[in-house]
Chains A and B, each alone.
Chain A
């Protein structure tokens, strides 16, 4: 561990090695996410962004290395300690992962019911405020099968926010959303990070969104099996020595020679 400002890094990934059996996805990946920042994970398809995210939230166990959430190793923690870590996290999955047999309001109420002693009307009210945060006010009685894909994403974000976690992970929040809704989501992320100090870890491909919200980002690469760039998005776009990074930020098609 580096001694510099340990309380500043809310997530610390140390020498992470991930993979399935003989298939290695990442090797020697280290970075840290600072409290209150919006941190973006970028990279082309298949470079393991979602795999990395799933290690960060403790769904997969690393082959080597550690993921520390507020100083605690999430893969090693068990029982109450693991629950305490998980309660600091909210996750929006790529496809929403809303429970299909519950209404949107019930989806948001579920963590409140399980972890708090709030009275019924309080949970209803809080669920409604979360839905309004993502512009779904009054839609709490609908079930996931009755709403569009974009609404599903927004409802999933609302559910991730149910317990006002310190860290919210968003897996492609803008994917499949129209530009207006996408911009509103960016605005929501900034507002929440500003007012509540929530730390966001966002997987995204949307360049406007990256520049609008991300304080810092890392870019992963499939061949390197790790990080090829880290820093502020604007700096990387303008000053990165790596052509792959500039290509990503400038939305350029890959040169024919580079395509192996």
Chain B
């Protein structure tokens, strides 16, 4: 442990430090030593270190703190009696070069921050458009030259993002059908109109909820995975390695993922639609509507157009999820937190895009009369 004693005399003051000056003991002395120094602003102060038997970086820090204080002329702080081996540690620093007060971080005004944020969104949008063009070109090139595609990679991604996602898609689709049927049946029962739950379910699941829920699930699952994987590749300079081999990362990484994810989104939505309707049918059984009745009612109301329209949306969602996941991955900056940021951003922008495009589809389908 370290101790501090203050002796005042006519010629000034002596601050006697003793004991072991290290990171664990210096904290207790710091303020006291500063106060002792501050109490003698006009007189020279001698810091007597002859009793110090150990002084490491933290102890040197304390001595520097005392030495760096701005003092009046003739009121210098002197260190005395410090053992030679510690003296050398202290002498490698110039105390006056440590500014007495830490510089305050520059303040950024609100206007400036709004500007910075706006600029960031603008650059992001431009990046999105540029990437869209690049990816589209690469995709068309790939479709014209299917033999140049890396089919093994595509199948691998299809398994990861498609087959392995089936259980969760089935579970969510089933529960969605059950919940939707149950909630609407309770309300419809008041009018004796439970049978129309079949209409509601078939239309809403086939047109909207099936594709939308599956897409949101995939955005959370595969979009984040693509961003994290490509982001880590970028951090590890694997993207640079591809580029210097003359392999375009967009062709090599993005096209495979976009093709696989798009191809898998459509069948996943088919499964989700079916299991949702099955869930609804089971609920309707408890409301004493036989499955055959439910089936006929649903089939007579929903059209093939509702179903295929939903699947067309699903394909577009697949492109969006994979595309945005890859883009965020490629935009990853360096560091561990950057990968997390990329994955988060992939999910957030994926979901926003899905909902936005879903709205566009609603308008287009309305005018096309689908």
Report whether A122 and B24 are in contact in the complex, using a CB–CB cutoff of 8 Å: no
Interface residues as binary, A133-173 with B (CB distance below 8 Å gives 1, 0 otherwise): 10001000001110000000000000001111000000000
A125 interface neighbour in B31, B64, B86, Cβ under 8 Å: B64
A129 interface neighbour in B30, B31, B60, B336, Cβ under 8 Å: B60
B122 part of interface (Cβ distance < 8 Å) = no
Closest CB of chain A to B116's CB: distance in Å?
17
B113 part of interface (Cβ distance < 8 Å) = no
Report whether B24 and A195 are in contact in the complex, using a CB–CB cutoff of 8 Å: no
Report whether A122 and B88 are in contact in the complex, using a CB–CB cutoff of 8 Å: no
Question: A129 CA to B63 CA in the complex, in Å?
Answer: 12
Report whether B335 and A125 are in contact in the complex, using a CB–CB cutoff of 8 Å: no
Report whether A164 and B22 are in contact in the complex, using a CB–CB cutoff of 8 Å: yes
Select the stretch in A45-53, A109-117, A176-184, A232-240 that faces chain B: A109-117
Report whether B65 and A195 are in contact in the complex, using a CB–CB cutoff of 8 Å: no
Question: A130 CA to B89 CA in the complex, in Å?
Answer: 11
| Chain A residues within an 8 Å CB radius of B26 | 116, 118, 122
| Chain B residues within an 8 Å CB radius of A129 | 57, 60-61, 64, 93
| Chain A residues within an 8 Å CB radius of B92 | 132-133, 191
| Chain A residues within an 8 Å CB radius of B27 | 116-119, 122
Report whether A116 and B24 are in contact in the complex, using a CB–CB cutoff of 8 Å: yes
| Chain B interface SS verdict (over half) | helix
B247 part of interface (Cβ distance < 8 Å) = no
Closest CB of chain B to A169's CB: distance in Å?
17
Residue on A nearest B68 in the bound complex, by CB: A125
Report whether B58 and A126 are in contact in the complex, using a CB–CB cutoff of 8 Å: yes
User: Contacts A122-B65, A125-B61 known; A195 to B31 CB distance under 8 Å?
Assistant: no
| Chain B residues within an 8 Å CB radius of A122 | 26-27, 30, 58, 61-62, 65
User: Contacts A119-B30, A122-B27, A122-B65 known; A194 to B85 CB distance under 8 Å?
Assistant: yes
Report whether A145 and B31 are in contact in the complex, using a CB–CB cutoff of 8 Å: no
Closest CB of chain A to B89's CB: distance in Å?
5
Report whether A195 and B57 are in contact in the complex, using a CB–CB cutoff of 8 Å: no
Question: A112 CA to B56 CA in the complex, in Å?
Answer: 14
User: Contacts A126-B58, A133-B92, A195-B86 known; A100 to B65 CB distance under 8 Å?
Assistant: no
In this complex, how many residues of chain B approach chain A with their Cβ under 8 Å: the count is: 31
Residue on A nearest B56 in the bound complex, by CB: A164
A124 part of interface (Cβ distance < 8 Å) = yes
Report whether B335 and A115 are in contact in the complex, using a CB–CB cutoff of 8 Å: no
A145 interface neighbour in B64, B86, B97, B335, Cβ under 8 Å: B335
Question: A22 CA to B146 CA in the complex, in Å?
Answer: 44
Question: A163 CA to B26 CA in the complex, in Å?
Answer: 12
Question: A163 CA to B56 CA in the complex, in Å?
Answer: 9
A80 part of interface (Cβ distance < 8 Å) = no
Closest CB of chain A to B60's CB: distance in Å?
6
| Chain A residues within an 8 Å CB radius of B88 | 191, 195
| Chain B residues within an 8 Å CB radius of A118 | 23, 26-27, 30, 58
Question: A118 CA to B58 CA in the complex, in Å?
Answer: 9
In this complex, how many residues of chain A approach chain B with their Cβ under 8 Å: the count is: 30
Closest CB of chain A to B313's CB: distance in Å?
38
A101 part of interface (Cβ distance < 8 Å) = yes
Report whether B28 and A195 are in contact in the complex, using a CB–CB cutoff of 8 Å: no
Report whether B85 and A195 are in contact in the complex, using a CB–CB cutoff of 8 Å: yes
| Chain A residues within an 8 Å CB radius of B65 | 121-122, 125
Question: A119 CA to B92 CA in the complex, in Å?
Answer: 23
Report whether A126 and B57 are in contact in the complex, using a CB–CB cutoff of 8 Å: yes
Closest CB of chain B to A115's CB: distance in Å?
7
Question: A17 CA to B102 CA in the complex, in Å?
Answer: 50
Task: For chain B, residues 57 to 112, give those with C-beta under 8 angstroms from any C-beta of chain A.
Answer: 57-58, 60-62, 64-65, 85-86, 88-89, 92-93, 97-98, 102
Question: A122 CA to B65 CA in the complex, in Å?
Answer: 8
B149 part of interface (Cβ distance < 8 Å) = no
User: Contacts A122-B61, A195-B85 known; A128 to B98 CB distance under 8 Å?
Assistant: yes
Residue on B nearest A192 in the bound complex, by CB: B89
Residue on B nearest A99 in the bound complex, by CB: B336
Report whether B98 and A164 are in contact in the complex, using a CB–CB cutoff of 8 Å: no
A132 interface neighbour in B30, B58, B86, B93, Cβ under 8 Å: B93
A59 part of interface (Cβ distance < 8 Å) = no
Question: A130 CA to B57 CA in the complex, in Å?
Answer: 8
Residue on B nearest A100 in the bound complex, by CB: B335
Task: For chain B, residues 303 to 344, give those with C-beta under 8 angstroms from any C-beta of chain A.
Answer: 333-338
| Chain B residues within an 8 Å CB radius of A101 | 335-337
B contact residues vs A (CB 8 Å cutoff): 22-24, 26-28, 30-31, 56-58, 60-62, 64-65, 85-86, 88-89, 92-93, 97-98, 102, 333-338
